[in-house]
A and B are shown apart, each in its own frame.
Chain A
Amino acid sequence: MTRGTVRFWIELHKWSSLVCTLFLLMLCVTGLPLIFHEEIDAAAGDPAAIVSGIAASGSDPALLPLDSILKRALAQRPGEIPLYMAFYDDRPLMTVTTGARPDVPVSGMHIQVVNRLTGEPVAETGGGHAITEFLLQFHTDMFLGLGGELFLGIMGLVFFVAIISGVVVYAPFMRKHDFGVLRTTRSTRLKWLDYHNLVGIVALAWMTVVGLTGVINAFITPITKVWQADELAAMTHAYAGRAPLPPARYGSVDSAMVTARRAIPGMNPQFIAFPGTSFSSGHHYGVFFQGTTPLTKHLLTTALVDAETATLTDARPMPWYFKALSLSRPLHFGDYGGMPLKLLWAALDVFTIIVLGSGIYLWIGRRRSLGDATRLAPDRAVRAPVFNKGIS
C-alpha cells in the first residue's frame, strides 16, 4: 500500500468510527441483556414464558376454535376490531391484537395473550415484559419511531464501513507482529492498541453479520412497504379499487384457516393478519405459515383468503427480500442455538464494546497527548517496526 492509500483508509476508519461509535455502544449495551430476554421475562414472572405443552399453531383437537378465542378477546375490548392473531409454536398460547381501526399505529394496538386450550387470558403483556420491552424499544428506534429506526440502520451501515476500513488498516499495523501480540507493559496506549487490533480482527465476522442483519431489521418498514406495493398488490389485483370489507361482514376465521391449510399443507400458521392491516388487503385474511424444519421455520408462506367467503385468492412464498429479513432475525438475535450460543453471543457483544471503547480511548488519548508537530506520519505508521502512537 502506498502512503496515500494508507492515509485514506486510516482517515476513513477514524471518521466512520467517530460517526457511529456512541450509537453502536448504546446498541451493544442494550443488546446484551436482550440476548437473554426469554430468561429475564421468565425470571420477572411473565406467565407466558413458563407455559409449555401443545403448540397453539397446530391442529390438535384439544385446541379451541379460533372464532371462540376471538369472540372472548373482543368482548374484553368493546369498540375495537381484530388486527392480528399470532401463534406460539412450542406452547398452547396465542395472541390476539385489537385496535380502534385497521390502520392504528403500533402504540394504538392492544395485545391479549390467551391459552388456546382453556380460552383463558394468561396475562396482559407489559407487566413482566416491562424491562425487556423498554430495552428493545430503545435498541430499535430510541423511542423516535420510524425516523429513529432508519437512523440506527444507517449507523449500522457506517459501522460496516468502519469494520472494513479497520481490516484494511490492520495490515500495516500488524506487518511486523505475530497474530495475537499484546504488549501490555510498555504503555497503556500500546496495550489498548493491541487489544483493539486483536479483539477487532477476531470478532470481525460476527460484528459484520450481526451489524448487517441489524441493518436489514432496521429497514423492516420500507421492506414491508415494498412487499405491499409489489407482491400483495399482485396477489389481490382482482380486488383493486373495492371498498374495504366492514368488520361486521368478516367471516369465520376457522373456515379461512381450513382453506389456507388446504392451500399450504404440512405447515403451521405463525400469524393471521386481518383486513386492512399492513400484512393484508382490505378484503382478506392473510394467513402466514412457517416451515417445519429449523431452517424453514424462519421463512413464511402466505395464503390470502377472502375474509367474507373463505375462498382462496392466492398463495405463494414470501419474496427473496422478505426471506432475507426473516433469516436476518435469528442471525441478529442469537436465539437459535441454545444457551451456549447465547453466552458466546454475549462474549462477542462484550468484545465489540471493548473494540468501541478502546477506539474512543485511542482517539481521545491521541488528541490530548500530541500536538501537530509530533503527529505520526502515515509512512511511519507503515514502516516503523514498533509504533505506539496508533491511529492519528
Chain B
Amino acid sequence: MIRSTFALPVLIALATVFGLVVALTGDGISDTLSWIGLGCPVAAVGWAIARIPRQPRAPLLWVPTPTLVRD
C-alpha cells in the first residue's frame, strides 16, 4: 500500500472528507469522529517525519548546561 502512488492519499482524502461532513451532522460522537477523520492527514505527516532514517552518529556525551540562577 505504501508503494502504491495513490492508495494512501485516497484513503487520507476520504478520511478528511468524512471528518469534514460528519461534524456537520451532529455534536458529541459526530465531533469525535470528525477529529479522527481530520487527524489522519496531520498524523500522516507526523508518521513520515518520524520514519526519516537517522544518520548514524558518534555517541555524544550529554553535558548538563548550567541553569541561570536569579537572585
Asked whether B41 lies within 8 Å of A206 as measured between CB atoms, the reply is yes
- Chain B residues with CB below 8 A from A340, complex form: 31, 35
CA distance in complex: A170, B4 (Å): 12
Q: A residues within 8 A CB of B51?
A: 180
B26 touches A199 (CB 8 A): no
Q: Which residues of A contact B42 (CB under 8 A)?
A: 344, 347-348, 351
CB-based contact A179/B49 at 8 Å: no
Question: How far apart are the CA atoms of A179 and B40 in the complex, in Å?
Answer: 14
Is A178's CB within 8 Å of the partner chain B? Answer: yes
A203–B44 CA distance with the chains assembled, in angstroms: 10
CA distance A182 to B46 in the complex (A): 11
A40 touches B (CB below 8 Å): no
B2 at the binding interface (Cβ < 8 Å): yes
In the complex where A178-B3, A182-B52, A344-B39 touch, is A294 in contact with B27 (Cβ < 8 A)?
yes
- Interface members, chain B 23-39 (any A CB < 8 Å): 23-27, 30-31, 34-35, 38-39
Known A-B contacts A198-B45, A206-B41, A351-B45; the reply to A336 vs B16 at CB < 8 A is: no
SS class of chain B's interface: helix, strand, loop or mixed?
helix
CA distance A174 to B34 in the complex (A): 29
Query: A174 vs B5: C-alpha distance in the bound complex, in angstroms?
Result: 6
State the Cβ distance, B15 to closest chain A Cβ, in Å: 8
For the complex, what is the distance from the CA of A345 to the CA of B41, rounded to whole Å?
11
Q: A171-B6, A348-B41 are in contact. Are A180 and B23 (CB under 8 A)?
A: no
- Residue interface mask A289-300, B partner, CB < 8 A = 1: 000011100100
User: Contact between B41 and A179 (Cβ–Cβ < 8 Å)?
Assistant: no
Size range of the chain A interface in the assembly: 35 or more
By a CB distance below 8 angstroms, the chain B residues around A202 are 9, 12, 40-41, 44-45
B31 and A338 contact, CB distance less than 8 A: yes
Interface residues on B, range: 35 or more
Contact A205 B13 (CB under 8 A): yes
Q: A180-B47, A347-B42, A348-B41 are in contact. Are A209 and B5 (CB under 8 A)?
A: no
Tell whether A204 is near chain B: CB-to-CB under 8 Å.
yes
A178 in contact with B2 given A294-B26, A337-B31, A337-B35 (CB within 8 Å): yes
Q: Once the chains bind, are B17 and A330 in contact (CB under 8 Å)?
A: no
Which residues of A from 343 to 373 have beta carbons under 8 Å from B?
A: 344-345, 347-348, 351
Q: Which residues of B contact A (CB under 8 A)?
A: 1-9, 12-14, 16-17, 20, 23-27, 30-31, 34-35, 38-42, 44-45, 47-49, 51-52, 55
Given contacts A205-B16, A344-B38, 20 further A-B contacts (CB under 8 A): A179-B3, A179-B4, A179-B7, A179-B9, A180-B8, A181-B48, A182-B52, A198-B45, A202-B40, A202-B41, A203-B41, A206-B16, A206-B20, A209-B17, A298-B24, A331-B20, A337-B30, A338-B31, A341-B34, A341-B35
29 contacts between A and B (CB under 8 A): A170-B9, A174-B5, A175-B5, A180-B8, A182-B48, A185-B55, A198-B44, A202-B40, A204-B9, A205-B12, A205-B16, A205-B41, A293-B26, A294-B26, A294-B30, A295-B25, A298-B24, A331-B20, A337-B30, A337-B31, A337-B35, A340-B31, A341-B34, A344-B35, A344-B39, A347-B42, A348-B38, A348-B41, A351-B42
